[in-house]
Structure 1
Amino acid sequence: MCACVCVCSKQVEKEKRELARQYGMVRNEVSGGEIAEELEKERRSFQLSMCEYLIKVNEIKTKRGVDLLQNLIKHYHSHNNFLQECVSTTQRLKQYMEELNGVLSTVKQRQEEEKKQLVRDTHTHTHTHTLTDDSLPKQVYSMHQLLGDKQYGTERSGFLYKKSDGLRKMWQKRKCSAHNCYLTIAHATPNKPPTRLNLLTCQVKPSVEDKKCFDLISHNRTYHFLAEDEAECVAWISVLSNSKQEALSVALDGGRRGGGGGESSVEDLTRAITDDIRRMPGNNNCCDCGAPDPGWLSTNLGILTCIECSGIHREMGVHVSRIQSLSLDSLGTSDLLLARNVGNAGFNEILEANLLSPSLKPSQHSHMAERKDFILSKYQDIHFVRRSHSSSSALRLGLQEATKSCDIYSLIHLYAQRTELSQPRVFPLQEKGETALHLAVLLADRTSLHILDFLAQNCSNVDVQTSAGNTALHYSCLHNKSDCVRLLLRARANTHIKNELGESALDVSRKLKHGDCEALLQKAQSNHFDHHVHVEYEWRLRRDDLYDSDDDFEERIRRQIFMIKLLYISTSSRPPAPNVPPPPPPAGGEGGGEEDDDEGEVFFPMTGSRKSTPPPPIAARHKRSCSESGKRGDIRETHLLITCVHQPRGSTSRRVEALYDCQADHHDELSFSEGQVLVVLGQEDSDWWHGYIEDEPERRGLFPSSFVQLLLD
């Protein structure tokens, strides 16, 4: 402001001088007072400008000091927080180091104990081995590999006598050769392919009674062999044991042998099971659209679908259907458990029971939209299931009974009715709060693993705990059932859950020294567990017929022909009675029933008019306790052989028609009326079958095979 005033005053003075010059009033001399006045004005103007500048500088310095202090305070706060976190981290690190020190001390102590135990076992084994015969392996059958004499090598060829499995139990001379970890047994018929056994899955067992005999136990049969002398027997046992050891080494090393015999035994078994599954009833067509040769498997439902329907299954999610390829994916035997026990035919009898017409089902030429609508209605909405309308308590009891009896189709029916598979059982075996999954673990063996697999894959919670905090995984470790552990880990069971004692499943395995379970759980916790695992299961493959003896097969055919001729003679000698209804079934062994045993006739279940059907055989009286006598045994076996002419071995379900009224005598038997159609699910023995009434699938049980006749579709 002052600067502007000075400039203006200078301009005014300049104008005055110009005017004075124009009018002749200019003075050439300036007085000293004027000069002093001008200097004073300039001095004041400079002082005013300097004061304004100092004021501005002070204002700027004041503002910068406040900001600097605020930023400095923030910096000190951040340093304080960092130091506090360092202190807490140091405290946690100290606690962890103390815990780790205790764990390492425990591990070191356990290692020292195991080392001492190994030393003791080594001394014991060495002492025992010196007492046994050096030329022959130990005469004890165990899970461990027998040690053969290495001088005999791994290959041998020659003749051995093999005992047949028929009634005659004859010794048959067979050409045998051990090569590339496989044993080949030639047949008497030249055009019949030889039996080829993978020695990795076989167990060699020397005979205790006869030093010239030994057994070879495979996954589905026991072979009895006889050598010429004891030396020959020792040589064969050593060769087979050495070959088995070599196959095990090849499998562990992951190598391949050049002679074609280096394939893994598990792969061979998986391939055989897959081929057997393809041959099951209904599996030659897609479960949903009927397309031929389906190649995709739903591992949690046990059905086969085509590639188009498998895509829709994948869209529904793994909680509904878990799809794998039979040819493209690397499957384990655990993936095939349900497929081997369910099949498309039995599954559709439940899931499509209320399908009004087969025309409503899509075909292989149907559009994807039509397929999708049907599959969603079938699996998600469950529109075609015949519902039992039972109470929740009845369904829960049915779940328990189905698990006990290993009835997979009853479990599927309950699952299709939205029954909660994880609900507590009505009558627990060990602890309150047990589920069907706990029961399946307790009852699990080599024949019932598929029940456990179905429950584990389809229940809503595989980690349900009992009143004592034990899960199904705890139960498996408590009872040392490693296959159950494999299936539960495959179903993503939680390995970190602890019971009331504070023990996890791994802690239980270590405590009880169950090494197999402990190793599996350690792999699962380190994310090294392979979910396509192998399980020990009695597969009962239908290809087992290829291993039957030639003489046994010929003998069986001769006996069948003889019994058919005998039937023809007995029926032709009976006077015709076309209009006489069949007599009622026998009274089941009460009263004078025992006196009629010798007068019974062999019954051959031919399809045809029921008017000329002979009465049921005495061998199948409607009392299971009466079928154990020796006289009935021959007739019962005859009836089974004749039935085998019409029913091929290995079929899982077939339809029969009731010839007579049948009243159940026990809780697990089935009552039905004459003319009703029944579906056979299995065979308890030659006289008693298991199945249900076609119109009432919820009614299931055992019934005598002589009261029905097969229907030819």
Structure 2
Amino acid sequence: MKMTVDFEECLKDSPRFRAALEEVEGDVTELELKLDKLVKLCIAMIDTGKAFCAANNQFMNGIRDLAQYSSKDVLVENSLMKFSETLQEMTNYHTILFDQTQRSIKAQLQTFVKEDIRKFKDAKKQFEKVSEEKENALVKNAQVQRNKQHEVEEATNILTATRKCFRHIALDYVLQMNVLQSKRRSEILKSMLSFMYAHLTFFHQGYDLFSELGPYMKDLGAQLDRLAVDAAKEKRDMEQKHSTIQQKDFSSDDTKLEYNVDAANGIVMEGYLFKRASNAFKTWNRRWFSIQNNQLVYQKKFKDNPTVVVEDLRLCTVKHCEDIERRFCFEVVSPTKSCMLQADSEKLRQAWIKAVQTSIATAYREKGDESEKQEKKSFPSAGSLEPGSESKEKLLKGESALQRVQCIAGNASCCDCGLADPRWASINLGITLCIECSGIHRSLGVHFSKVRSLTLDTWEPELLKLMCELGNDVINRIYEAKVEKMGVKKPQPSSQRQEKEAYIRAKYVERKFVARHLASVPLPEDGASAVPQHQEEKRHSSSERSPQADKHGATSPKEGEKQEASVLCDSKQLPPGLQLYRAAYKKNLPDMAEALAHGAEVNWVNIAENKSTPLIQAVLGGSLVTCEFLLQNGANVNHRDVKGRGPLHHATVLGHTGQVCLFLKRGANQHATDEEGKDPLSIAVDAANADIVTLLRLAKMNEEMRESEGLCGQPGDEIYQDIFRDFSQMASNNPEKLNRFQQSDSQKS
């Protein structure tokens, strides 16, 4: 049985929980009505012997009604409908079954209604009472003035006691609710099955009918036995979970709220706050607040439409309020209005303020002119830098991230509106943007565009190389291929924001301007002929291996351009997924970007080649930048092929230290084993690759420290990040230092 109400949600006492309660309470009320109706019809059938057929027809109508009510439960619905059809044919036999009916239908269902549903109602009354008491305690606690310490302590103690009482009563109520929902199936079916067996026993005239129904009834009886066992097990599990939750430490007695700006559902933070009304009385009301979609909103009930407090967090600020009598207050101020809010504790107030501040910073970052000036002051020359710093490395090369990226063709102006000197970039698209277009890109979501500042953010070497492999000209040739043909006017720097937003959505989300055919893949010099598309996936045969790679069975294409030519076909005929797959091995980022623009699935699986993915092909191709591009576009770092090997396995076998470092940073599962039972660490040990062994052991040690230290106090994290940063720098700028195995000339080329 699927649990109706979750115990964890119960502790939050959120509008979702209240909405679930209302739904279940209405459901139980309707169930009680249906059962009462059925019992009354049964009594009428017993008392009215002369009108047995009429009463029996009404009773069957009640059964059908109950079956329709149970339409979401196939077992109950089908069983009741089958029984009612058989009973319809029995209405002419006039054999009285009142005594057995009294015991099977009336007694059992009345007992269920009087005992189980009554327990539910009693639990409901207690819950409503303690819920009201908790609300009163919350209001009283919120109204206590800060300078009346004895009243503060008294209100706090009352609130703590009331909350604990509410928690126990609420958990008991949810338990009773779930037990009732679990039990009602067996009770209804058990009583009905007993009634049907009474017909089989006493109606000799209906023997032929019931002989056909008998096997079905026996099967249902067996299912009931299993249902009873399952219900008992579910009850024990729920009671155990109920007990476990009660034993949790709630000493702080604060709602556990955390903010997450990258939450999948878009809700950065949510919880109860008191809000001061803007009317003349300045009343305070408790509402459910949330930060979502760059807005601060609240609602009274779960089904209510959210009321927007702040339409755009970029235009507001948040501050503490210590000049009013109520405690834990803070104010959200926008250019047009301000909103006074109150949390339940100082800890929650700080959490909300931090959440709002973080959301503001994420939604809008000020233009980086001052930061650039400060950066120039801080780093006047290469000689003044500390050894090993990232800034020194940039300046020793004579370029900053901004300079390096803007040197690429088309990057000196915004990719979408053409504004000069763009200071922002989309790292998964590989383009530069002005500040206004970057805000629009952010609103599209990270699955379309990941925005980063060229002056305010830190840039990893592999990301800079990715940006340099693509650029505005390359991406616009793909995403704006049909702009002129369609007669669409590209926005200018002076265009309205709405016009820019419509164009950007059409360009990247709807992909209206992408040509419907794929760009051609250059054929080898010998002009090899194309092969049919259905044979294309049979490509990818032998590989050139290092001794270590041969030992573990890693593969990569072997015969060079000539053998590759024998299986290439016109790329206009290739599916986007296969084009991405091919381009990933060939380290061709423009072709990969084009394939994604045509709808290629970044985790496309090549069934004909051991269920390999583009990310695994990028590993075999030996390109760190290609791996970074796929990961930025949502590639699954833990996908495994038919041999049980993921990208981390293949990178370890081939001795690609930079890729191993990248995958570990992106959360690759270092404990996964292949079909031979080997994890990446054992493969690296067998290959005697000291660099990769060091990385894997360091990652494992850091993971163990995280588990032992918990969320607070992680002494290994800083060192761990520093070492991985050094490996990343070396893999991007001096890869020859990490090449443990000597590769052939064909592979190097």
Larger helix share, 1 or 2: 2
Q: Same fold (TM over 0.5)?
A: no
Q: TM-score range by the shorter chain?
A: 0.3 to 0.5
Q: How does the TM-score come out when normalised to structure 2?
A: 0.35
* Structure index of larger Rg: 1
Q: How does the TM-score come out when normalised to structure 1?
A: 0.36
